[in-house]
Amino acid sequence: MFFPQSSGILFNHIFGKTLRGDSVNTFAVKRCDNQVVCPVCNFERYLSISKLLRIDLSKGYLFRATKGNSVLEDPFVGSAIHNRLKSYLRAINSDEGETPHRSRSGCSITLSLLGVSKESIASHVGWANSNMVDHYSDLKDLLLPSAPTAVLANSVSTDASSSVVTAYKACNDFSLFKKRLSLRLAELNCF
């Protein structure tokens, strides 16, 4: 259902891996200025393309699987989403292990850092309770001064960067590796 003036969409999510029994997840998606990434613009584009292809979305699944050049009546399931994402990432030589499931964590972290309440995040993502926000985001660990994010942010200073390079070079010295390995093997009577 579209909001007035198509300013957003209200989805009533009733099918999927994370929904159990009679569970339903209703969530809103608002239009944004950047039309390339705007979910509302892209959904409207999806509807227009479906109409041009004479695919009736008024019944059956809204998002459907494909086979070759055919659109099936089957739902577009998680494994298909995973495979499609991986094929897109490989096509642009950018596959670094991303999965659709990781977007839940990224969404949770981003919304938390923007000040959204745990309850609202859980509702938006479709979790049964706000405890899942802690499970997926680990913000308490991410925001500690010793956390990787803080350490990396501080490493941009010249002093910190040079100390990291010095430490790396000291640890990356393998010139004595063969001697030490030979001595250790001799101690273990491996020769």
In this structure, is residue 41 part of a structural domain?
yes
Write out the DSSP string of 50-79.
Answer: HHHTT--TTSS-SSEEEETTEEEEEE--HH
Q: How confident is the model over 88-139, as pLDDT tens digits? A: 999 999 888 888 878 888 888 888 888 889 899 888 887 878 888 888 777 6
Task: Work out how many domains the chain is built from and give that number.
Answer: 2
In this structure, is residue 48 part of a structural domain?
yes
Is pTM beyond 0.75? Reply is no
Query: For residues 76 and 16, what is the distance between their CA atoms, to the nearest angstrom?
Result: 9
pLDDT of residue 91: 93
Domain boundary, last residue among 59, 76, 100: 59
pLDDT of residue 41: 92
In this structure, is residue 92 part of a structural domain?
no
**Total number of residues shown for the chain:** 191
Write out the DSSP string of 97-115.
Answer: S--TTHHHHHHHHHHHHTT
In this structure, is residue 102 part of a structural domain?
no
Query: For residues 150 and 139, what is the distance between their CA atoms, to the nearest angstrom?
Result: 12
Q: How confident is the model over 23-50, as pLDDT tens digits? A: 777 778 889 888 888 889 999 999 999 9
Query: Across residues 164-179, what is the average pLDDT?
Result: 55
In this structure, is residue 165 part of a structural domain?
yes
Its domain, for residue 19, covers: 1-59
pLDDT of residue 141: 66
Domain boundary, last residue among 9, 35, 59: 59
The candidate with the shortest Cα–Cα distance to 39, out of 49, 30, 48, 47, is: 30
